[in-house]
Each structure stands twice: as structure tokens, then as C-alpha cells.
Amino acid sequence: MEELFLNKEHIARFNFMMDELSFTDLRDPYWRSLVFIFSGDERLFNQRRSMVNFVQKEINSDLWFDGTLSGGEQRLVALAYNLFTNQDLYEFEDGKRYNISPLEIFSGVDEAGYQLAKNAIDVRLQYF
């Protein structure tokens, strides 16, 4: 799996975040793909405490789609949401929807984000 990481810092942040979550089963593909994305983007990693409830081991998805992230970060978070929940949309309380499509995700990220997104799918599907 090491070849899927962007760099050594990505590996270190991934291991750190997995330790923070105190998982006993490190093979869980849902959490691994989510942590892979968050640890691969410095800003998402720095915001992990507000976006993930570490105590309850839940995602704070209402914060994921509140419009505070850049376009590329929003697309990476949308992919993390899709890989974690198997949902192709996020529905707001008012009924509005944020649709998650592969084309939208991959066409709206920079080269590093593209590599991160592509490799996160491999992590989720356990193709390594």
C-alpha cells in the first residue's frame, strides 16, 4: 500500500490519524480510504478534529458540505464521503443535494488531488 501515498509525510499523517482513531482493525476499507484522503491534504488534515468525531468514531458530514472548503478540497471531501458511506449524494436538511460524480471530482482537482483521489479508490477497493 505504501506506493499509493503521495510522499513520506502523507504516510506519517495517515499513521498518526489512524492512531488517533484508536482502531484495532486497520484493514477497515471505509475508514482507511477516508483517512487516506484527509492525511493526503494538509488543510484537511489540519481540520480533521472538526470534521471527524474521534471519540464517537463518526464523521461530521454536516460540516463537510458547508461551503468553507476550496473547490478541490470540497471534491476530495465529497469523494471521502462517497467512499465512506457508499452514497452518491449528500442531502442537506432543507432537501438540497450535493451530487457526487466521478467526473466532477476528477475534473476539479489539481494533479496532487487527482493522484490522491485515484489512489483513495484503490485503498477503498483494496487494490494494492
Under 8 Å between Cβ of 117 and 76:
yes
| pLDDT (0 to 100) of residue 96 | 86
Question: Can you say whether the dihedral through the CA atoms of 103, 29, 69, 119 is positive or negative?
Answer: negative
* Span 21-58, pLDDT tens digits: 987 777 889 999 999 999 999 999 999 999 999 999 99
* Span 75-106, pLDDT tens digits: 999 999 999 999 998 888 888 888 898 888 99
**Total-model pTM:** 0.92
> Could you list the residue range(s) of the whole structural domain that residue 38 is in?
2-125
Q: CA-to-CA distance for 16 and 21, rounded, in angstroms?
A: 9
Number of folded domains that form the chain: 1
| pLDDT (0 to 100) of residue 118 | 96
Question: Can you say whether the dihedral through the CA atoms of 21, 47, 39, 104 is positive or negative?
Answer: positive
